[in-house]
Structure 1
Amino acid sequence: MKAALLLCVLLYLNSAVNGGLTGNTVFFPQASANSYVKLIPLKPLSLDAFTLCLRLSVDPDVVNQPKRETILFAYRTQNFDELNVWQEKGKISFYLSNSDGALYSIPLLSVFRTNLCLTWESSTGLAAFWVDGKRSTLQVYRQGHRVQSGGAVLLGQDPDSYLGDFDINQSFVGEITDVNMWDSVLTGSQIRHFNEKEWVGPTANVLNWNTMQYEVKGNAIVAPEKYI
């Protein structure tokens, strides 16, 4: 009876939708084909501009293998990968709507936490990564494109179908926290403030780590503030 009750509790915790991740980090302790966190956006991801920021640290023995691809952020609709961010081929990259990606020769992730932001706007196509407050060279990518709504945002896995077909060799291994997204391009000054403990910029209105709901699946662990 006790074993059955414990199993029911674990199943509930593994599927429950919760509110807000303030002060928490999500830990993926090992490569897997079933562990992920689904984030529930505050508004549909129908975007002609965005800023995406997150803090990450990785197990370099796994993630930094020369031929390994590691998903950092995935947003997929029923039919397409709308927005994916990767560490691959010794670079950091992002892809919009199954197109060829934009690859950046910037510092790779490490065992120490990295503040990573990505900006893109449709009108000019200008895109850049920011690493610990320092901007990469601009690239022009998918000018005139629009990110489509109706998809799912995942941390930890790259779905090759909607919420499925995960590849263990592309899974994230490490920690992710403070995932925030805005429907505009923030200024350099605002992005640099993302490195500070107290955020003083505009409230994230697409994904907000402090208020959005989320679902935990598999062996992903939500670790409390004392580990931040």
Structure 2
Amino acid sequence: MQMQQPTLVLSGVKSSTFPAFYFPAENIESCVTVQPLHHMALQAFTLCFWARAPPGSTQTVLSYSTRQRDDELVVTVGSAVGLWLGGRSTSFPVHRGTQSWLHHCVAWAAPSGLAQLWLNGAEGEGKSIQKGYETRAGGTLLLGKDRDMLLGTFANGFTGWMSHVNLWSRVLSPAEVRALALCKAGRAKGDVIAWGETPLALAGGVVLGPDTSCE
């Protein structure tokens, strides 16, 4: 009989001392469950985060699944930054040969269907996906794993460090994205996921460590 992995709940920790998360490669069950501050019926979003991960293989940063669909909203990193939205996908090729910290922002707006990626504050080419769509509310929001609701299994696990994960229900301006990438004081926090404020449940051996993303 498999032993239940302990769960650590983080909530109300001062943002100045909030740790980064390390997802060990040897534990396939490591993930973070998020209790969003805002419902997940989204017609626009921006997801920003710092990640320090091995280049190459596809690794899930955030996944949102409902009973109707596993890949309602999924963002991955690797040789490309992938976006799954309502069962459809697009990707942004990246050329990354190191394991240093990298700041990402992925944004999308339903009226235009335009999806965009910023890396370290620099805006890349836009892609078109799911014009007029709205994500469904009432699902499960995770960091570090892509969940198959039907089989109850996980895939494309994240390995490495993750920090400053924020999710907004709108598209940020280029100036807002640059401020986040430059680690400016008083940086904005998301209204769906607010790093250091949103309740998070860590399971499967996710390790807490000092946040060095802005050093």
TM-score (norm 2): 0.87
What is the CA–CA distance in structure 2 between the aligned matches of 1:208 and 1:163, rounded to whole Å? 30
Greater per-residue helix proportion: 1
- Are 1:55 and 2:50 an aligned pair? yes
Greater per-residue strand proportion: 2
Question: Percent same amino acid at aligned positions?
Answer: 25
Pick from 10, 35, 39 the counterpart of residue 40 of structure 1.
35
Structure 2 residues not aligned, in runs of 5+:
none
Map of 1:98 onto structure 2: 87
Which runs of structure 1 show a deviation greater than 2 angstroms over 4 or more consecutive aligned residues?
A: 14-18, 20-23, 106-110, 196-203, 224-228
Structure 1 residues not aligned, in runs of 5+:
1-9
Aligned-partner residue type, residue 105 of structure 1: P
TM-fit CA distance, 1:20: 4.2
What is the CA–CA distance in structure 2 between the aligned matches of 1:227 and 1:195, rounded to whole Å? 10
Matched pairs, number: 207
Map of 2:194 onto structure 1: 208
Within 5 Å, give how 1:1-228 maps onto structure 2: 14-20=6-12, 22=15, 23-60=18-55, 64=56, 68-80=57-69, 81-87=71-77, 90-99=79-88, 101-108=89-96, 110-161=98-149, 164-167=152-155, 170-200=156-186, 202-225=188-211
8 Å contact from structure 2 (residues 164, 195) kept in 1: yes
TM-fit CA distance, 1:46: 1.0
SS in 2 for 1:85: strand
Cα-Cα RMSD = 2.3
TM-fit CA distance, 1:173: 0.6
TM-fit CA distance, 1:79: 2.8
- Who wins on radius of gyration, i.e. which is larger? 1
What is the CA–CA distance in structure 2 between the aligned matches of 1:124 and 1:117, rounded to whole Å? 18
